Amino acid sequence: MAVIDIEGDAQRIWDTMQSGEVALIPLDVAYTVAAQTIEAIDRTYEAKGRSFSKPCGSLGNFTMMCEVLNVDNRAREIAEAVVVDYNLAMSVVGP
């Protein structure tokens, strides 16, 4: 049985992204591609053959959601209740 090194894996992912590279992270039924720099994000789109008109998912926080996404006050209030008031994780899809 393989030894699972969650902290080590997380550190390697962080170090990869901090160095401007792209991290490919396997999940149970899919994968995620993670990058932190414009250049790495550009390489991700190029590797996937994806147009910038078809955006990929992004990770962020409540503040980023408010600044980047075009969401109405009701949606913002719901997200704030879940994420800030109850300290839960939440996925948001928006323009």
Are 49 and 75 in the same domain?
A: no
User: 66 and 51: one domain?
Assistant: no
Q: Has this prediction a pTM greater than 0.85?
A: no
CA–CA separation, 9 vs 14, rounded Å? 9
Number of domains into which the chain is organized: 2
In order along its 95 residues, the chain shows pLDDT tens digits of 778 899 999 999 999 999 999 999 888 888 888 888 888 888 888 888 888 787 777 667 888 888 888 888 998 999 999 999 999 988 877 76
Q: According to the model, what pLDDT value does residue 29 have?
A: 81
Q: What is the pLDDT of residue 1?
A: 76
Give the residue numbers spanning the domain of 51. Answer: 1-59
The H-assigned helical ranges of the chain are 6-18, 38-48, 62-68, 73-80
How confident is the model over 82-92, as pLDDT tens digits?
Answer: 999 999 988 87
